[in-house]
Amino acid sequence: MKVLIVDDIEEYLDTMEGFLEDEYNVFKAKNLIEAKKILQEESIDIAIVDIRLDENDPSNKDGLELLKWIKEQTPNLPVIVISAYREFDYAVEAINLGAKYFIKKPIDPNKLLEIIQEFGQ
């Protein structure tokens, strides 16, 4: 399975890649543009997308924009939305836009693996 991880924080990208790379082919993107490019070039099986892709801009919700774009391009691609922010509205908006799961950071690696394995069956 090919898994795309989209997060603007390198530490999160590397950490998630570290606990997924033994079982999955992992692709990483730091922003909306990189993510779209990977999605257009690769046959991704599941995407893990952070809501805010610019931590310096509190109004940034590029991850939700990416989710909308993914659902327009490939409606059946499962998307897991992640966020360090506890805003309930973000979780509701992500689910309403088609996200399969919303996970708060810090992410439990075992829980993430369990969710990804659901889609691999």
CATH of the domain at 40: 3.40.50.2300
Q: What is the chain's mean pLDDT, rounded? A: 93
Question: What is the structure's pLDDT at 38?
Answer: 98
Domain that holds residue 100: 2-119
Look at the pTM and tell me if it is higher than 0.75.
yes
* CA atoms of 94 and 99, how far apart (whole Å): 5
> Is the pLDDT confidence value at 121 over 70?
no
Question: What is the structure's pLDDT at 40?
Answer: 97
CA atoms within 13 Å, Cβ hemisphere of 104: 8
> Is the pLDDT confidence value at 84 over 90?
no
Say whether 3 sits in a helix, a strand or coil.
strand
Residue type, 89: D
> Is the pLDDT confidence value at 120 over 80?
no
How many domains would you assign to the chain?
1
Question: What is the structure's pLDDT at 57?
Answer: 85
Residue type, 109: P
